[in-house]
Amino acid sequence: MSSDATTPVLRNCIRLPLPEDELLEVTAKAKDYAIMHGAAMRSKTAFSQDSLNFAPFVLVPSSFPRKEFEKAVALQPIINRLMHNVAHDEEFITTTLAETIKVDEFTANLFNIYRKVLAHGFTQRISLGMLRSDLMLESGCPELSPRALEDRKDGGQDAAAVGKGAGTAAAAGTGRKEKEEQKEEEEQKEHRETQLSRATKERERRATSTQSAYCCWKQVEINTIASGFGHLGPASKTIQRFVLSELGHADKLHNMPNNNALAGLCDGMVKAWDIYAKPKAVILFIIEDVSYNICDQRFHEFYIRETYPHIKVLRRTLTEVHREGKLGQAKELLLGSQEVAVIYFRAGYEPGHYHSQSEWDARYLMETSLAIKCPSIHYHLAGTKKVQQALAQPAVLERFINDPEEIKAVGKIFTGLYSLDDNEAGNATYEMALRTPERFVLKPQREGGGNNVYGVDIPDALKRMSRVERSAWILMDLIHPPLTKGYMVRPGGDMPPQIVDMVSELGIFGVVIGDAEHIVHNYQAGHMLRTKLSTANEGGVAAGLGALDSPYLIDSDDDEDLDQI
Ligand code: ADP
Ligand code: MG
């Protein structure tokens, strides 16, 4: 996708290739190990409620720069707080999504629920956020290329034009006073400069060959609904730990960081359950009609039952909630006679989950209930791509974060994100995308993978839309992660597997619980790594393109094991 012959390669944790007999033996064993440890999914091609396939996985862990991993972990509580504050800022959400909901029916439906709940007041003021911040290493990170930064005379007109007059969501807020206009102008100028530096980055990177595999990372997206892999993240480490040990590299296991995602996320649900404080109330998982990624839901359920034997988990589709659900006297959500304390949405993030008005009615019923939702509707809206784009605009972070150091740290994780609203800035983005589409990815307000448009396909897609329709989308700089080389093991795949070029995406989980005034719990909760072929645009594991992986932490000055192939 975004790699070429100049893309840097991260060194492997062990020397590859493996001798063929050893590879065959360890791969066969690892497949069984995966199935028998729940690193598995239902087959889409031969579906059966009664059987599982192993989930695709990378045989040995992919390298990841230790410093960047630690930075991501340390930043997560700040991102949690940011998203919590964003979710509770009615004006920001309303202003930011104003254009989008005119043309995007799905977001408009979510927003309608939000509007109705706002009008009637929130029955439950506490929200449970179980977030996942997804990121990729940027091999052309300008921070590592001081030479490139000094020499940026000839490029950047495109993004400068976009920055010019780019209305920010914060600036679009109501009641802004005249005396603030000068400040706003300064911010715009600063913004233009930021955009300029982002836009020239790629050109400079190639001109000066300053790419590094030990680079900074950029946020791909932040998920506030159905953030999966709480089980499969740690399970990936379990498989790869087994494989490294089988191959005689137990001495390297200390470079695989602990991963307590499953416990962290489930404990978050139980903390919310405790706040609800009704010993008989249950935790409800909202599920798709068919759950292919079943292990990543059942293990949550099993963990809760095993760790907290008194808490019951129920699973229901939106359709079933519509049929069985009602509100009690105090607006408690009742499924039959069972009261629901916490609702964990593993479905409801895409239009296909709402077959009719019934499912929307079920969502609204739950939203107006006393149950603590993960996510509540405002959290869901805070996770839209449009909000992510607005957050990357200058001075917006100041609205949500007080500490200047934290603002700086969060500001650095954004790559170029551009509005396609029907205004001057949006039109400049449009022109820029037509001129240099290969630099970008075009994203609608959807989750779950397979919705984006990449590079050379962007002009046609944009030209098919009206100016107004474009505001349902955002444009984003493509991130250029370094490559890793390794074996990807898939059900029905080659035996032995071939060595392939891959790129990885790290997800850091966070849990945050609170209301508009107070945050009562806020912590980082483990991680997951997904790896895809470097030629694939997207790498959803459930979608069949990615593979389970886990990070092997390396330092750029390590030379003890320079195991390149
Ligand atoms: P979704 O909500 O559908 O998961 P994402 O924004 O995560 O949407 O995009 C899906 C996938 O597309 C990501 O997992 C990643 O592989 C790829 N992708 C998204 N944005 C970028 C980007 N800016 N640069 C490179 N790849 C990207
Ligand atoms: Mg994603």
**pLDDT tens string 94-104:** 999 999 999 99
What is the arithmetic mean of pLDDT over 470-476? 97
**pLDDT tens string 354-411:** 999 999 999 999 999 999 999 999 999 999 999 999 999 989 999 999 999 999 999 9
Binding site membership of 3 for ligand 1 (Cβ less than 6 Å): no
Question: Which residue's CA is minimally distant from atom 16 of ligand 1?
Answer: 538
Rounded Cα distance, 68 and 66, in Å = 5
Question: Which residue's CA is minimally distant from atom 11 of ligand 1?
Answer: 538
Binding site membership of 138 for ligand 1 (Cβ less than 6 Å): no
Rounded Cα distance, 9 and 418, in Å = 29
Sign (positive or negative) of CA dihedral 41, 47, 49, 53: negative
Q: Higher confidence at residue 304 or residue 140? A: 304
Binding site membership of 401 for ligand 1 (Cβ less than 6 Å): no
Closest CA to 508 of 137, 227, 215: 227
Binding site membership of 441 for ligand 1 (Cβ less than 6 Å): yes
Binding site membership of 538 for ligand 1 (Cβ less than 6 Å): yes
For the cut 90, the answer to whether the pLDDT of residue 521 exceeds it is yes
For the cut 60, the answer to whether the pLDDT of residue 442 exceeds it is yes
Atom of ligand 1 nearest to the CA of 479: 24
Rounded Cα distance, 47 and 49, in Å = 7
What is the arithmetic mean of pLDDT over 138-156? 52
Closest CA to 457 of 469, 472, 442, 470: 442
Q: Higher confidence at residue 31 or residue 203? A: 31
Q: Which of 195-199, 413-417, 504-508 has the lowest mean pLDDT?
A: 195-199
Q: Which two tokens stand for residue 302?
A: 């099993």
Give the pLDDT of residue 160: 40
Sign (positive or negative) of CA dihedral 84, 134, 521, 300: positive
**Rounded to the nearest 5°, which phi and psi values hold at 163?**
-65, -30
Compute, in angstroms, the gap from residue 220 CA to the centroid of ligand 1.
6
Mean pLDDT across the chain: 89
Binding site membership of 448 for ligand 1 (Cβ less than 6 Å): yes
Binding site membership of 133 for ligand 1 (Cβ less than 6 Å): no
Binding site membership of 222 for ligand 1 (Cβ less than 6 Å): no
Give the pLDDT of residue 196: 42
Closest CA to 486 of 20, 11, 25, 34: 11
Compute, in angstroms, the gap from residue 90 CA to the centroid of ligand 1.
27
Compute, in angstroms, the gap from residue 133 CA to the centroid of ligand 2.
9
- Band of the pLDDT at 540, cuts 50, 70, 90? confident
Binding site membership of 479 for ligand 1 (Cβ less than 6 Å): yes
- Band of the pLDDT at 288, cuts 50, 70, 90? very high
Give the pLDDT of residue 166: 37
**Rounded to the nearest 5°, which phi and psi values hold at 258?**
-55, 145
Give the pLDDT of residue 565: 42
Q: Which of 44-58, 188-202, 244-258, 511-525 has the lowest mean pLDDT?
A: 188-202
Q: Global pTM?
A: 0.90
Most ligand 1 atoms within 8 A of CB, residue of 218, 224, 441 to mutate: 441
For the cut 80, the answer to whether the pLDDT of residue 183 exceeds it is no
Binding site membership of 65 for ligand 1 (Cβ less than 6 Å): no
For the cut 50, the answer to whether the pLDDT of residue 439 exceeds it is yes
- Band of the pLDDT at 539, cuts 50, 70, 90? confident
Rounded Cα distance, 378 and 348, in Å = 14
For the cut 90, the answer to whether the pLDDT of residue 125 exceeds it is yes
Compute, in angstroms, the gap from residue 221 CA to the centroid of ligand 2.
6
Binding site membership of 478 for ligand 1 (Cβ less than 6 Å): yes
Beta-sheet strands, E only, within 317-406 = 325-327, 333-335, 338-345, 372-374
DSSP state of 144: G
What is the arithmetic mean of pLDDT over 537-546? 77
Measured from the alpha carbon of residue 225, the closest ligand is 1
Compute, in angstroms, the gap from residue 227 CA to the centroid of ligand 1.
14
User: Concatenated DSSP letters for 253-303?
Assistant: GGGS----HHHHHHHHHHHHHHHHT-TT-EEEEE--SS-SSTHHHHHHHHH
For the cut 70, the answer to whether the pLDDT of residue 149 exceeds it is no
Question: Which residue's CA is minimally distant from atom 10 of ligand 1?
Answer: 449
Rounded Cα distance, 163 and 417, in Å = 11
Atom of ligand 1 nearest to the CA of 536: 16
Helix (H) or strand (E) holding 86: helix 66-87
**pLDDT > 90: percent of the chain:** 81
Rounded Cα distance, 37 and 236, in Å = 10
Compute, in angstroms, the gap from residue 544 CA to the centroid of ligand 2.
14
Give the pLDDT of residue 172: 37
Binding site membership of 451 for ligand 1 (Cβ less than 6 Å): yes
Helix (H) or strand (E) holding 473: strand 473-477
Binding site membership of 316 for ligand 1 (Cβ less than 6 Å): no
Atom of ligand 1 nearest to the CA of 478: 24
Within 10 angstroms of residue 492's Cβ, the number of other Cβ atoms is 9
Question: Which residue's CA is minimally distant from atom 17 of ligand 1?
Answer: 538
Atom of ligand 1 nearest to the CA of 540: 14
What is the arithmetic mean of pLDDT over 483-509? 96
Binding site membership of 528 for ligand 1 (Cβ less than 6 Å): no
